[in-house]
Structure 1
Amino acid sequence: MEKKLIIFMHIPKTGGTTLNDIFKKSYAENEIYDHVPLEAMRNHFSQLKEEDKKVIKAISGHHFYGIHDLFSKPYTYFTMMRNPIERIISLYYFLKTYPGYYQENMRNMSFKDYLDWDPQAKNGQTQQICGMHSQISLEKAKENLKTFEVVGITEMFNESLLLLKDKLGWNDIAYKRKNVTKSRPLLQEVPTEIIKKIKENNQLDIELYELAKSDLIKQLSDLKEFPN
């Protein structure tokens, strides 16, 4: 039976850079597309010989659901979700100093204005799981999540790693935290009106996050009950 293509859907500001470093340890450089832009990946893969196409075992990146359509082989996804309020706070302060497009546009942008400006700040996790060209809905996201081996939770990072290790057969899960937003304030330091607006803009993300967290807790409980 052909092995499944393992796809890491990296949702921004969920601990994904740290997780990706762990993920990459299991593959040789020619076996994984690591954060390669969609068109570049499509062009490269289409030019490979058939035997070389079979070498590709994994994909990671800020891709939307549906990236598997480029590859004619069985697949499974995994991702990490984060409390939407914490994620949006981290995203704003991270992007404000991110070189290029975001830094140029956000240099003098208030947090309140950012929440209206950036699509990522409006149910961005649910949209990525639904797919680039799919209408965003909780039902569509839940349907797509059926093809995910694991949906980890940032606030339960170590527990999520243990489940990934079990499900995907990872050997080395040692890590150092990377890409941490150091300049952001604590949740209790963010104005109440901003928190309220984040919640209003991310109702789907909040519901999907709670569902994913509940499912992760159940999977972890089953893992302890039925050890390998």
Structure 2
Amino acid sequence: MFNRKVTLYNKPNNGKKNNTSKIFLMVIVIAILVIVFVQSASISSYSGSINTDSVSKAIEQQIVEKQQQHEKKVDNQQQIIDQQVEKQQQAEKQQQQQQHLKKEEDQVKPEQTVRVPPSYKQKEKPRIDIEIDILTKKEREHLQRVVIQEWKDEVEILKNLDIDPGYASIPKIPEDYTPPTGEELERKIKDQTWKLKKEENPFLLPKPHIFIHVPKTAGSSLAGIFRRNEKRDSFAHHWMHPNYRELENVVKKDTVFGHIRYGLHNYYERVYPDRLPANEYGLNKYSYITMLREPVDRVISNYYYHRQNRKDPFHDLAMKYELRDWIKVSAAANNEQARMICGLGWSDFGNETISQIAHHHLKYTFKHVGITEDFVGSLVLLSHYSGLQNIRFSKINTGRQRVSVDTIPDDVIEEIKERNWIDISLYEMAKDIYNKQIDLIGREFFEKEVQEYKGKFMNKYSLPSNGIRS
């Protein structure tokens, strides 16, 4: 049977072709070709789309990079411009701050070059201190206007008076007052407590006492005396005019001493207007005290003091110039005594208005005036006007580089005199006041006190006969 099936399966076609099988095979081949063609087209299209996207992204990236480079270039240019503007503004600001000093310095041509040693650098001020400086400047400008107006008012008062009140340092005393003599004189010299009692001491000034310490007039030695005689809470010592923040505490003190300017009484008047009785002539009622020094000697002393003290704010200027050139650029060498007594001219070297106001104040306002050249005598007089008990002193803040006036060239001396014409006139008035104070107290009484003082302190502490030189 098996053989039969095989025979049947392999049965010949009798020579006829099988067309159906061929057609079927061709259809399959064509279908395969179509499928292959379609797939190839799809792959080609996908590849093209990928290439197009890559090119677009590359172009966009190049555009962004160019924009960033342009912006960076613009920023750099603007930064350079800003830096140049800032430097220019700083230069202009520095030029404005030094304009006044430069104008004066440009006129000076030192004959010798002076070596300037390194000085202490000033620390940058905190913001609060800068604000205080601004307020202080405004307050001082206001104070100067008040001082000028007060002077004008007093000039009008004097015009309407029948008599000239005379020196304020020469007060009216009881008609029955006579200088002590004999045993009373000896008793009063030995025991000074009577000077604290107004009924026994007609020269005693009411407080507050405002002592204007002109630089290089032995004021540092006086400061020690006041400090020993006053309660700590009642005494204030200022190395410069009080700033805006300090004014509130100043008026709480009974004695104010230091490098202060005339006009401080206005703050007392604001807070305690009835503390002192009114002046009988309507003039200033406050107890201003000062001590003046021969102007040429004071200027020379001041110059060498600035040079020796490296921490002094005017040290660099003094080291930069010789004396003959320093007096042309330093305010301290030009009528400084007058400007402090006047209350004006913080930077001005002196003018006619300053002269008039300074003379007016010294004559009609200052209740005691001493002179440095007779320091011991001035101390004795001051004890009558202030009630000071312990007036022993030591030499403080004296110059180590001090030179004699005789060694200074004549032309320099003459220029110092010309530049300090107001101070010279004031000093002559101060000497007149000083001698009249002695006469009023009693010259014999005064000389006995001076003699007692020198015998008690001068030999013991090896002080010079006139007391002090600085």
CA distance in 2, matches of 1:55, 1:67: 12
1:126-169 superposed Cα distances (whole Å, 9 cap, x missing partner): 11111135964333112212221211000011111111101111
Question: 1:1-228 maps to which residues of 2 (within 5 A)?
Answer: 3-35=206-238, 37-40=240-243, 42-46=244-248, 55-72=252-269, 73=272, 74=276, 75-98=286-309, 99-132=311-344, 136-145=353-362, 146-224=364-442
Change (3 A) 1:37 1:215: closer
Change (3 A) 1:180 1:39: closer
CA distance in 2, matches of 1:141, 1:26: 29
| 3-state secondary structure, aligned to 1:8 | strand
Higher strand share: 1
With structure 2 as the length reference, what TM-score do the two structures score?
0.44
| 3-state secondary structure, aligned to 1:25 | helix
| 3-state secondary structure, aligned to 1:71 | helix
Deviation at 1:108, TM superposition (A): 2.7
Deviation at 1:109, TM superposition (A): 1.0
Change (3 A) 1:167 1:194: same
What is the one-letter code of the residue matched to 1:96?
R
Deviation at 1:59, TM superposition (A): 0.6
Deviates more, 1:140-149 or 1:155-164: 140-149
In the alignment, structure 1 segments of 5+ residues that lack a partner are none
| 3-state secondary structure, aligned to 2:211 | strand
What is the one-letter code of the residue matched to 1:62?
H
Change (3 A) 1:153 1:114: same
CA distance in 2, matches of 1:133, 1:92: 20
For the aligned residue pairs, the C-alpha RMSD in angstroms reads 2.4
With structure 1 as the length reference, what TM-score do the two structures score?
0.88
Change (3 A) 1:54 1:116: closer
CA distance in 1, matches of 2:358, 2:241: 21
Deviates more, 1:155-164 or 1:93-102: 93-102
Change (3 A) 1:37 1:106: closer
What is the one-letter code of the residue matched to 1:161?
L
What is the one-letter code of the residue matched to 1:81?
L
What is the one-letter code of the residue matched to 1:17?
S
Deviates more, 1:54-63 or 1:162-171: 54-63
Seq. identity, %: 31
Q: Select the structure of larger CA radius of gyration.
A: 2
| 3-state secondary structure, aligned to 1:60 | strand
Deviation at 1:101, TM superposition (A): 2.9
Higher helix share: 2
Deviates more, 1:80-89 or 1:175-184: 175-184
The higher-RCO structure (CA 8 Å, 6+ apart) is 1
| 3-state secondary structure, aligned to 1:142 | helix
Deviates more, 1:103-112 or 1:74-83: 103-112
Deviates more, 1:28-37 or 1:205-214: 28-37
Change (3 A) 1:100 1:218: closer
| 3-state secondary structure, aligned to 2:380 | helix
CA distance in 2, matches of 1:133, 1:194: 24
In the alignment, structure 2 segments of 5+ residues that lack a partner are 1-205, 277-285, 447-470
